[in-house]
Chains A and B, each alone.
Chain A
């Protein structure tokens, strides 16, 4: 896959949809495209965050370690962005991400990501929207869990 194809893919991700192509090209150029084999770990819970990942192809599972083993909390597929929270808030990775079958990602390192966010407020807004959405999702799940408990 060449740089231009990567740019096409980025365009289709809501987060980057409103950014002009030349900036996306820079993002793609300064990012590393990485292939993972089945079971290979992108990053582990507790690591310091140094990069965000965009799934280009394949699927990955998001795993959270609990007192009794790990639980898969989500699955990621083409177009998903993962790992941006750790670099935004400077907190350790909150989950482990592992490749399922073969996986291709675009790895955006911390500096490039920050530069993008500061240069393009639209991205910041998109990220806010995305995060707010996730928060909403969590709240719904939490409510459901509480009411389950209540019953």
Chain B
């Protein structure tokens, strides 16, 4: 990258900066005339004689002449304003474009950092550099050339104007500039140094925050919050001290500037006044000079501010750039180039004299030599720290060896672009990362290598105007809306992709889990209509199957005409699934529409009374329990915190009666009945009469629901798919009955049978693939994340598969079978397994044992598994 900010500006925005300069130059004559005109107006039009005058061949009397000049003045004001507007917008756009380029370059560099660099630089430092720290640079870059030119030019124009009016006054106006020009930079230098320190201190602070978030478990588990807070206070104190010092110095500079600026009018009033009295200067000229001087202070101030910003920006740029110039980074070509012809690495792997040292010169790998035949299955075992995992990373070209080479199919992998290594070599490490997308997206990520097909011009970043802007900023021109899945690498066309994904789920043993996600998931995939239709089929099938088995009493189906005793009162009233906040259970009592319905069917008073009764029962049952008792969480309608409130409410209700209570208090009671599930709670409080009226309310609710609130609820309907509910709930279309022994499991078994017989399993899996993996895959368990990563790698069918302890987090019982399925899937390809347990090496053609960074044993499992070998020692340890 360019070593200084001005080189960066020059290299990437030369033309634009020149254009701005020319534009600025063009604006000056207008500025000059707008300054000169007031003098003419005052001296000639208002104070002049000899009218009518000749102007452009026309005769003008005094008043028309004055008006004409005023109109010209107004026009000049408009022209000046237009110039300023255009220049400002252009400048802002230029700045943003350059900022965009800078951020892009920095991010691209992060993606090229050698992996060991991430041991030295933390997320917490890198993120603010690319986001916040460079932000002010954009503004500065836009202003860098044209602002000093414009403000300097303005200053000069005004000065020339003043000198033309009166050389003495002109001299007076600038008399103090040299002093300012000398002192200010000196003071500024110290402020700059402080600024540098501050940037570092803030980086430190964000590093600390990032670290605390990543390690928050340890902080809780070890009670180190106080230490963390004290540590944080120290960082804040550092920033505070630096900032305070900066303010003191910065505002002193400001004070000095202001003082000097105020000093100059003193000369005008005294010297100028004398000149006017003596008659050496017209009164109009003095007024014009005073007006001009007022204009003068603005550009001068701007120039001084510019100087400060320039210094700030220079420092920030230097400080950011030095963090991103990392030795050993990939070249841009290695990161982005496509090979001219497809390169295959399907061939023997030859490792020659391979050596690797870390930054401290510690030897991690030493003189490693071996060959692997095409298609051979190799397991590498050895004690921790013996170098096996390092070898795997070097073989995947994630680390560069310090000496020696690895060739695959006769090609040295050291210089290959990632377009070859990242496609032809497959690597999964022990703690694979899952991105915050759906499982499906995470799987496809393995095959998203380059765009093909046409972009969608309606997709925002791929609209023609946006693409032009991206090009001007030197950003990536790969359209995000084009197809990205490399079907050739996957070996399948688009239509069969889902089948292939389901296959891979089976290989890695994730199928049942994704199926369970699918049952809990909602229908959000392509082919909604068809899938929804088939799920409806399963709904009636389940019903008839349960009847056949005599199990239909285990589900109470939703019926528009019947009260469902196994559903909450809220569900009975809404008869649908809330979408969003409005009709959520705890918002119902406060919702105006719901209230209007309750009033209409005359349930409001009943509900308040029932709420009071529920509260009475709850207080009676729970009042003696300690607040942290688990029963509160499991059974209570009222949380332990709210229980005392309700006790007071009940006392008040006894005193003044329910009708006499405040509306807010009545609302607290009204909230409670919605949560009742009659069959479960058995409080006997929702009687037949109320059930009938809840059914009336249901009907009224549905009929009267205003159009704009329709989207807040998906109604239950026998012959329609409910998009807001899970697949499972859609098939059940009812509530599993309380009080029937083992009902959940028994219904679950019939449900699974129906899904299977209706051929819906694939659909459910497809829906499950649409489940979100959560931040850093946090919704998945560690083994699930590993499985996703392995499937992601298998999808693109690499020539060489490297599994670096990739199954170590799986349950020990499924590790062996999972590896067997992977070996079967990659039957014709080379597989290298780094075995965290030596026993896993058994099904492999050949076993290497590494210790101390060297290969110490090499042979088949059976030949090595004998008395005295290192492999036997490893096996015995297990």
**A32 surroundings in chain B (CB, below 8 A):** 738-739
Q: When A26-B621, A29-B621, A30-B631 are in contact, do A4 and B739 touch as well, CB less than 8 Å? A: no
Distance (Å) between the CB of A97 and the closest chain B CB?
A: 12
Count the A residues whose beta carbon is within 8 Å of the partner chain — how many? 21
Name the residue on B nearest A3 (C-beta). Answer: B682
Q: When A29-B635, A30-B634 are in contact, do A3 and B739 touch as well, CB less than 8 Å? A: no
Q: When A6-B682, A33-B682 are in contact, do A25 and B634 touch as well, CB less than 8 Å? A: no
Q: Does A44 contact B (CB under 8 A)?
A: no
Q: When A25-B620, A35-B740, A35-B741 are in contact, do A3 and B631 touch as well, CB less than 8 Å? A: no
B682 touches A2 (CB 8 A): yes
B741 touches A40 (CB 8 A): yes
**B617 surroundings in chain A (CB, below 8 A):** 25
Q: Which of chain B's residues 735-763 have a Cβ closer than 8 Å to chain A?
A: 738-742
B741 touches A36 (CB 8 A): yes
What is the 8 Å Cβ interface bit string for chain A, positions 27-44, against chain B (1 contact, 0 not)?
A: 011101111110010100
Q: Does A8 contact B (CB under 8 A)?
A: no
A33 touches B739 (CB 8 A): yes
Choice from B622, B630, B682, B740 contacting A111 with Cβ under 8 Å: B630
**B622 surroundings in chain A (CB, below 8 A):** 26
Choice from B634, B683, B741, B742 contacting A3 with Cβ under 8 Å: B683
**A33 surroundings in chain B (CB, below 8 A):** 682, 738-739
Q: Does A22 contact B (CB under 8 A)?
A: yes
A3 touches B635 (CB 8 A): no
Name the residue on B nearest A104 (C-beta). Answer: B739
Q: Does B57 contact A (CB under 8 A)?
A: no
Q: When A22-B620, A29-B621, A111-B630 are in contact, do A34 and B682 touch as well, CB less than 8 Å? A: no
Q: Does B580 contact A (CB under 8 A)?
A: no
Distance (Å) between the CB of A101 and the closest chain B CB?
A: 14
B684 touches A3 (CB 8 A): yes
Q: Does A1 contact B (CB under 8 A)?
A: yes
B621 touches A2 (CB 8 A): no
Q: Which of chain B's residues 608-648 have a Cβ closer than 8 Å to chain A?
A: 617, 620-622, 630-631, 634-635
A1 touches B741 (CB 8 A): no
**A112 surroundings in chain B (CB, below 8 A):** 631
Choice from A2, A28, A35 contacting B739 with Cβ under 8 Å: A35
- The size class of the interface chain B forms with chain A is 10 to 19
Distance (Å) between the CB of A54 and the closest chain B CB?
A: 14
What is the 8 Å Cβ interface bit string for chain B, positions 23-56, against chain A (1 contact, 0 not)?
A: 0000000000000000000000000000000000
Name the residue on B nearest A107 (C-beta). Answer: B741
Bound complex: CA of A30 vs CA of B634, how far in Å? Answer: 8
Choice from B621, B681, B684 contacting A4 with Cβ under 8 Å: B684
**A26 surroundings in chain B (CB, below 8 A):** 621-622, 631
**A6 surroundings in chain B (CB, below 8 A):** 682
Bound complex: CA of A30 vs CA of B741, how far in Å? Answer: 16
A40 touches B683 (CB 8 A): no
Name the residue on B nearest A42 (C-beta). Answer: B741
Bound complex: CA of A25 vs CA of B683, how far in Å? Answer: 10
Bound complex: CA of A37 vs CA of B738, how far in Å? Answer: 14
**A37 surroundings in chain B (CB, below 8 A):** 741
**B621 surroundings in chain A (CB, below 8 A):** 22, 25-26, 29
Name the residue on B nearest A111 (C-beta). Answer: B630
Bound complex: CA of A22 vs CA of B624, how far in Å? Answer: 10
Bound complex: CA of A111 vs CA of B629, how far in Å? Answer: 11
**A22 surroundings in chain B (CB, below 8 A):** 620-621
**B620 surroundings in chain A (CB, below 8 A):** 22, 25
Bound complex: CA of A1 vs CA of B684, how far in Å? Answer: 8
**B741 surroundings in chain A (CB, below 8 A):** 34-37, 40, 42
Bound complex: CA of A32 vs CA of B8, how far in Å? Answer: 73
Choice from B635, B683, B740, B742 contacting A30 with Cβ under 8 Å: B635
**B739 surroundings in chain A (CB, below 8 A):** 32-35
Distance (Å) between the CB of A110 and the closest chain B CB?
A: 12
**B738 surroundings in chain A (CB, below 8 A):** 32-33
**A34 surroundings in chain B (CB, below 8 A):** 739-741
Distance (Å) between the CB of B590 and the closest chain A CB?
A: 27
**B740 surroundings in chain A (CB, below 8 A):** 34-35
Distance (Å) between the CB of A113 and the closest chain B CB?
A: 13
**A2 surroundings in chain B (CB, below 8 A):** 682-684
Bound complex: CA of A69 vs CA of B620, how far in Å? Answer: 49
What is the 8 Å Cβ interface bit string for chain B, positions 635-676, against chain A (1 contact, 0 not)?
A: 100000000000000000000000000000000000000000
Q: Which of chain B's residues 717-742 have a Cβ closer than 8 Å to chain A?
A: 738-742
Bound complex: CA of A32 vs CA of B738, how far in Å? Answer: 8
Name the residue on A nearest B620 (C-beta). Answer: A22
**A111 surroundings in chain B (CB, below 8 A):** 630
**B635 surroundings in chain A (CB, below 8 A):** 29-30
Name the residue on B nearest A40 (C-beta). Answer: B741
Bound complex: CA of A29 vs CA of B684, how far in Å? Answer: 12
Bound complex: CA of A30 vs CA of B684, how far in Å? Answer: 16
What is the 8 Å Cβ interface bit string for chain B, positions 424-451, against chain A (1 contact, 0 not)?
A: 0000000000000000000000000000
Bound complex: CA of A147 vs CA of B226, how far in Å? Answer: 74
Bound complex: CA of A42 vs CA of B738, how far in Å? Answer: 16
Bound complex: CA of A54 vs CA of B856, how far in Å? Answer: 68
**B683 surroundings in chain A (CB, below 8 A):** 2-3
Name the residue on A nearest B625 (C-beta). Answer: A26
**A40 surroundings in chain B (CB, below 8 A):** 741-742
Bound complex: CA of A26 vs CA of B621, how far in Å? Answer: 5
Choice from A1, A36, A42 contacting B682 with Cβ under 8 Å: A1
What is the 8 Å Cβ interface bit string for chain B, positions 567-592, against chain A (1 contact, 0 not)?
A: 00000000000000000000000000
Q: Which of chain A's residues 1-58 have a Cβ closer than 8 Å to chain B?
A: 1-4, 6, 22, 25-26, 28-30, 32-37, 40, 42
Bound complex: CA of A111 vs CA of B634, how far in Å? Answer: 12
**A1 surroundings in chain B (CB, below 8 A):** 682
**B681 surroundings in chain A (CB, below 8 A):** 3, 29
Bound complex: CA of A34 vs CA of B682, how far in Å? Answer: 12
Name the residue on A nearest B684 (C-beta). Answer: A2
Bound complex: CA of A40 vs CA of B620, how far in Å? Answer: 36
Bound complex: CA of A32 vs CA of B635, how far in Å? Answer: 11
Distance (Å) between the CB of B547 and the closest chain A CB?
A: 15
In the complex, the 5 A-B pairs of residues with the closest C-beta atoms, listed nearest first: A2-B684, A34-B741, A26-B621, A3-B682, A36-B741
- A/B interface sample: 9 pairs, CB < 8 A: A26-B621, A26-B622, A26-B631, A29-B635, A29-B681, A30-B634, A30-B635, A36-B741, A40-B741
Interface positions of A (Cβ within 8 A of B): 1-4, 6, 22, 25-26, 28-30, 32-37, 40, 42, 111-112
A33-B682, A35-B739 given. 20 additional CB < 8 A pairs? A2-B683, A4-B684, A6-B682, A22-B620, A25-B617, A25-B620, A26-B621, A28-B682, A29-B682, A30-B634, A32-B738, A33-B738, A33-B739, A34-B739, A34-B740, A35-B741, A36-B741, A40-B741, A42-B741, A112-B631
